[in-house]
Amino acid sequence: MSDVANHTGEKETEMTTMTDSEARVPASSAATPLYRATGVTRTYTRRGRTVTALTGVDLEIMPGAFVTIQGPTGGGKSTLLQLLGALDTPTSGTLQLDGRELSSASPSELGRIRAQEIGFVFQGFNLIPTLTAAENVDMALEPLGIDPAERRTRVAAALAHVGLADRGDHRPAELSGGQQQRVAIARAIVKRPRVLLADEPTGNLDERMRDEILDLLERLCAEGITMVVVTHDSAVARRATKRLRLTQGTVKDITR
Protein backbone atom coordinates (compact mmCIF):
# COMPACT_ATOMS: atom_id res chain seq x y z
CA MET A 1 0.00 0.00 0.00
CA SER A 2 2.97 2.36 0.25
CA ASP A 3 2.59 3.36 -3.39
CA VAL A 4 -0.72 5.04 -2.62
CA ALA A 5 0.48 6.72 0.54
CA ASN A 6 2.06 9.81 -0.84
CA HIS A 7 1.70 11.04 -4.39
CA THR A 8 2.47 14.63 -3.60
CA GLY A 9 5.92 14.02 -2.17
CA GLU A 10 4.86 15.88 0.96
CA LYS A 11 5.47 14.55 4.41
CA GLU A 12 2.60 12.40 5.61
CA THR A 13 0.82 13.86 8.62
CA GLU A 14 0.31 11.38 11.44
CA MET A 15 -3.13 11.15 12.98
CA THR A 16 -2.28 11.35 16.63
CA THR A 17 -5.68 10.22 17.85
CA MET A 18 -5.46 6.81 16.19
CA THR A 19 -3.28 3.75 16.64
CA ASP A 20 -1.39 2.05 13.81
CA SER A 21 -3.94 -0.69 13.41
CA GLU A 22 -6.79 1.74 12.90
CA ALA A 23 -8.01 3.19 9.63
CA ARG A 24 -5.35 5.83 9.13
CA VAL A 25 -5.25 7.52 5.76
CA PRO A 26 -2.54 9.56 4.08
CA ALA A 27 -2.81 13.33 3.94
CA SER A 28 -2.57 14.90 0.50
CA SER A 29 -1.45 18.34 -0.48
CA ALA A 30 -4.41 20.67 0.04
CA ALA A 31 -3.67 22.28 -3.33
CA THR A 32 -4.08 19.12 -5.43
CA PRO A 33 -7.66 18.03 -6.11
CA LEU A 34 -8.41 14.41 -5.31
CA TYR A 35 -10.72 14.34 -8.34
CA ARG A 36 -10.69 16.55 -11.38
CA ALA A 37 -13.33 16.02 -14.06
CA THR A 38 -13.12 18.02 -17.28
CA GLY A 39 -15.89 17.87 -19.85
CA VAL A 40 -17.02 14.44 -18.68
CA THR A 41 -19.81 12.99 -20.79
CA ARG A 42 -21.32 9.53 -20.43
CA THR A 43 -23.80 8.22 -22.93
CA TYR A 44 -25.47 4.83 -23.00
CA THR A 45 -26.59 3.29 -26.26
CA ARG A 46 -29.38 0.77 -26.21
CA ARG A 47 -31.04 -0.70 -29.29
CA GLY A 48 -29.77 2.19 -31.39
CA ARG A 49 -31.07 4.84 -28.96
CA THR A 50 -28.57 7.03 -27.14
CA VAL A 51 -29.23 8.30 -23.62
CA THR A 52 -26.97 11.03 -22.28
CA ALA A 53 -26.51 10.49 -18.52
CA LEU A 54 -23.79 13.12 -17.99
CA THR A 55 -23.01 16.02 -20.25
CA GLY A 56 -19.82 18.06 -20.03
CA VAL A 57 -19.31 17.77 -16.27
CA ASP A 58 -16.48 19.90 -14.87
CA LEU A 59 -15.74 19.20 -11.23
CA GLU A 60 -13.01 19.39 -8.63
CA ILE A 61 -13.15 17.57 -5.29
CA MET A 62 -10.48 18.49 -2.78
CA PRO A 63 -9.03 15.93 -0.35
CA GLY A 64 -10.94 15.89 2.93
CA ALA A 65 -14.13 17.35 1.44
CA PHE A 66 -17.59 16.11 2.41
CA VAL A 67 -19.44 16.31 -0.89
CA THR A 68 -23.14 15.62 -1.33
CA ILE A 69 -24.84 15.08 -4.68
CA GLN A 70 -28.57 15.79 -4.87
CA GLY A 71 -30.99 15.94 -7.77
CA PRO A 72 -33.97 14.27 -9.40
CA THR A 73 -34.11 10.59 -10.36
CA GLY A 74 -32.42 10.08 -13.70
CA GLY A 75 -30.26 13.16 -13.23
CA GLY A 76 -27.01 11.17 -13.47
CA LYS A 77 -26.04 10.76 -9.80
CA SER A 78 -25.33 7.04 -9.89
CA THR A 79 -23.52 7.38 -13.21
CA LEU A 80 -21.22 10.03 -11.74
CA LEU A 81 -20.59 7.92 -8.63
CA GLN A 82 -19.65 4.94 -10.82
CA LEU A 83 -17.15 7.08 -12.73
CA LEU A 84 -15.63 8.41 -9.49
CA GLY A 85 -15.46 4.81 -8.24
CA ALA A 86 -13.52 3.60 -11.28
CA LEU A 87 -16.36 1.19 -12.03
CA ASP A 88 -16.96 2.89 -15.36
CA THR A 89 -15.14 5.32 -17.66
CA PRO A 90 -16.38 8.46 -19.44
CA THR A 91 -17.51 8.34 -23.06
CA SER A 92 -15.55 11.56 -23.52
CA GLY A 93 -13.72 14.06 -21.35
CA THR A 94 -11.07 13.37 -18.73
CA LEU A 95 -11.31 12.24 -15.12
CA GLN A 96 -8.30 12.23 -12.83
CA LEU A 97 -7.91 10.71 -9.38
CA ASP A 98 -4.98 12.31 -7.60
CA GLY A 99 -3.45 13.26 -10.93
CA ARG A 100 -3.86 9.81 -12.50
CA GLU A 101 -6.03 9.57 -15.58
CA LEU A 102 -8.96 7.20 -14.95
CA SER A 103 -10.51 7.76 -18.37
CA SER A 104 -7.66 5.96 -20.13
CA ALA A 105 -6.59 3.50 -17.40
CA SER A 106 -6.60 -0.22 -18.16
CA PRO A 107 -9.27 -2.45 -16.57
CA SER A 108 -6.65 -4.03 -14.29
CA GLU A 109 -5.38 -0.62 -13.15
CA LEU A 110 -8.99 0.49 -12.47
CA GLY A 111 -9.50 -2.73 -10.50
CA ARG A 112 -6.40 -2.07 -8.42
CA ILE A 113 -7.53 1.50 -7.69
CA ARG A 114 -11.00 0.25 -6.65
CA ALA A 115 -9.55 -2.42 -4.37
CA GLN A 116 -7.00 -0.18 -2.67
CA GLU A 117 -8.27 3.37 -2.73
CA ILE A 118 -12.05 3.49 -2.93
CA GLY A 119 -14.65 2.43 -0.39
CA PHE A 120 -18.27 1.89 -1.47
CA VAL A 121 -21.40 2.11 0.67
CA PHE A 122 -24.89 1.43 -0.69
CA GLN A 123 -28.47 2.09 0.42
CA GLY A 124 -29.18 -1.64 0.79
CA PHE A 125 -25.96 -2.34 2.78
CA ASN A 126 -25.05 -5.16 0.33
CA LEU A 127 -23.74 -7.50 3.04
CA ILE A 128 -23.51 -11.22 2.38
CA PRO A 129 -26.20 -12.78 4.63
CA THR A 130 -24.40 -16.10 5.21
CA LEU A 131 -21.20 -14.44 6.43
CA THR A 132 -20.57 -12.88 9.83
CA ALA A 133 -19.89 -9.16 10.22
CA ALA A 134 -16.15 -9.86 10.52
CA GLU A 135 -16.17 -12.10 7.43
CA ASN A 136 -18.03 -9.42 5.46
CA VAL A 137 -15.43 -6.82 6.44
CA ASP A 138 -12.56 -9.21 5.71
CA MET A 139 -13.76 -9.68 2.13
CA ALA A 140 -12.51 -6.20 1.25
CA LEU A 141 -8.96 -7.24 2.18
CA GLU A 142 -8.97 -10.35 -0.02
CA PRO A 143 -7.58 -8.62 -3.15
CA LEU A 144 -4.84 -6.82 -1.22
CA GLY A 145 -2.53 -9.75 -0.44
CA ILE A 146 -2.29 -9.03 3.29
CA ASP A 147 -1.29 -11.87 5.61
CA PRO A 148 -4.03 -13.47 7.77
CA ALA A 149 -2.83 -12.16 11.15
CA GLU A 150 -2.69 -8.58 9.86
CA ARG A 151 -6.11 -9.09 8.28
CA ARG A 152 -7.64 -10.15 11.58
CA THR A 153 -6.12 -7.12 13.32
CA ARG A 154 -7.41 -4.75 10.68
CA VAL A 155 -10.92 -6.27 10.63
CA ALA A 156 -11.18 -6.00 14.42
CA ALA A 157 -9.93 -2.39 14.33
CA ALA A 158 -12.39 -1.43 11.57
CA LEU A 159 -15.33 -2.96 13.47
CA ALA A 160 -14.21 -1.20 16.66
CA HIS A 161 -13.91 2.04 14.73
CA VAL A 162 -17.61 1.92 13.80
CA GLY A 163 -18.63 0.91 17.34
CA LEU A 164 -19.19 -2.79 16.67
CA ALA A 165 -16.21 -4.39 18.42
CA ASP A 166 -18.49 -6.96 20.05
CA ARG A 167 -20.56 -7.85 16.96
CA GLY A 168 -17.94 -9.46 14.73
CA ASP A 169 -19.53 -12.91 14.86
CA HIS A 170 -23.09 -11.73 14.23
CA ARG A 171 -24.73 -12.33 10.87
CA PRO A 172 -26.48 -9.40 9.13
CA ALA A 173 -29.97 -10.67 10.08
CA GLU A 174 -28.95 -10.47 13.75
CA LEU A 175 -28.12 -6.75 13.46
CA SER A 176 -30.29 -3.61 13.18
CA GLY A 177 -30.32 -1.64 9.94
CA GLY A 178 -28.01 0.98 11.42
CA GLN A 179 -25.62 -1.72 12.63
CA GLN A 180 -25.66 -3.40 9.21
CA GLN A 181 -24.77 -0.10 7.57
CA ARG A 182 -21.93 0.32 10.09
CA VAL A 183 -20.61 -3.13 9.11
CA ALA A 184 -20.76 -1.99 5.47
CA ILE A 185 -18.84 1.16 6.41
CA ALA A 186 -16.25 -0.95 8.27
CA ARG A 187 -15.90 -3.05 5.09
CA ALA A 188 -15.37 0.16 3.11
CA ILE A 189 -12.73 1.65 5.45
CA VAL A 190 -10.78 -1.50 6.34
CA LYS A 191 -8.72 -1.11 3.14
CA ARG A 192 -7.83 2.45 4.27
CA PRO A 193 -9.28 4.16 1.20
CA ARG A 194 -8.66 7.71 0.02
CA VAL A 195 -12.35 8.22 -0.62
CA LEU A 196 -15.67 6.77 0.43
CA LEU A 197 -18.45 6.83 -2.17
CA ALA A 198 -21.97 6.33 -0.84
CA ASP A 199 -25.24 6.04 -2.80
CA GLU A 200 -28.16 6.95 -0.48
CA PRO A 201 -26.42 5.40 2.56
CA THR A 202 -29.19 6.47 4.94
CA GLY A 203 -32.12 5.81 2.59
CA ASN A 204 -33.25 2.67 4.46
CA LEU A 205 -32.76 4.01 7.99
CA ASP A 206 -34.97 5.81 10.49
CA GLU A 207 -34.00 9.29 11.65
CA ARG A 208 -32.04 8.21 14.72
CA MET A 209 -30.00 5.61 12.84
CA ARG A 210 -29.52 8.08 10.00
CA ASP A 211 -28.00 10.60 12.42
CA GLU A 212 -25.70 7.91 13.87
CA ILE A 213 -24.45 7.06 10.39
CA LEU A 214 -24.00 10.75 9.53
CA ASP A 215 -21.99 11.30 12.71
CA LEU A 216 -19.80 8.35 11.73
CA LEU A 217 -19.28 9.58 8.16
CA GLU A 218 -18.43 13.04 9.46
CA ARG A 219 -15.88 11.56 11.88
CA LEU A 220 -14.26 9.48 9.13
CA CYS A 221 -14.11 12.58 6.94
CA ALA A 222 -12.41 14.52 9.76
CA GLU A 223 -9.87 11.66 9.93
CA GLY A 224 -8.99 12.26 6.29
CA ILE A 225 -11.30 10.12 4.14
CA THR A 226 -12.92 12.23 1.42
CA MET A 227 -16.71 11.66 1.32
CA VAL A 228 -18.94 11.72 -1.74
CA VAL A 229 -22.54 10.99 -0.79
CA VAL A 230 -25.56 10.80 -3.11
CA THR A 231 -28.65 11.71 -1.13
CA HIS A 232 -32.27 12.86 -1.28
CA ASP A 233 -32.13 13.86 2.38
CA SER A 234 -31.47 17.52 3.18
CA ALA A 235 -30.27 16.45 6.67
CA VAL A 236 -27.39 14.66 4.93
CA ALA A 237 -26.68 17.62 2.66
CA ARG A 238 -26.47 19.92 5.70
CA ARG A 239 -23.28 18.07 6.71
CA ALA A 240 -21.60 18.83 3.39
CA THR A 241 -18.65 21.13 2.80
CA LYS A 242 -19.54 21.05 -0.91
CA ARG A 243 -23.07 20.54 -2.22
CA LEU A 244 -23.70 19.56 -5.80
CA ARG A 245 -26.94 19.22 -7.71
CA LEU A 246 -27.17 17.04 -10.81
CA THR A 247 -30.04 17.73 -13.19
CA GLN A 248 -30.27 16.16 -16.66
CA GLY A 249 -26.59 15.29 -16.61
CA THR A 250 -25.41 18.77 -15.67
CA VAL A 251 -23.73 19.51 -12.35
CA LYS A 252 -24.27 22.71 -10.41
CA ASP A 253 -22.49 23.75 -7.20
CA ILE A 254 -25.20 24.74 -4.71
CA THR A 255 -22.94 25.19 -1.67
CA ARG A 256 -24.11 28.21 0.28
Q: Which of 6, 29, 52, 78 binds Mg ion (CB under 5 A)?
A: 78
Q: How far apart are CA 99 and CA 110, in angstroms?
A: 14
Residue 56 interacting with ligand ADP (CB under 6 A): no
Q: Which of 33, 63, 64, 76 binds ligand ADP (CB under 6 A)?
A: 76
Q: Do 56 and 93 form a contact (C-beta atoms < 8 A)?
A: yes
Q: How far is the CB of 144 from Mg ion (least distance, A)?
A: 28
Residue 85 interacting with ligand ADP (CB under 6 A): no
Residue 123 interacting with Mg ion (CB under 5 A): no
SS3 content of the chain, % helix, strand, coil (to 5): 35, 25, 40
CB burial of 190-227 (b: ≥16 within 10 Å; e: otherwise) equals: bbbbbbbbbbbbbbbbeeebbebbbebbeebbebbbbb
- Selected range binding ligand ADP among 57-65, 69-77, 105-113, 178-186, rule: CB under 6 A: 69-77
Q: How far is the CB of 244 from Mg ion (least distance, A)?
A: 14
Residue list 8-47, contact with ligand ADP (CB under 6 A): 44, 46
Q: How far apart are CA 104 and CA 247, in angstroms?
A: 26
Q: How far is the CB of 162 from ligand ADP (least distance, A)?
A: 26
Residue 78 interacting with ligand ADP (CB under 6 A): yes
- CA distances in angstroms from 234 to 69, 203, 246, listed in the order given: 11, 12, 15
Q: Do 223 and 18 form a contact (C-beta atoms < 8 A)?
A: yes
> Which residues are near Mg ion by CB under 5 A?
77-78
Note the residues at the interface with ligand ADP (CB under 6 A).
44, 46, 51, 53, 71, 73-79
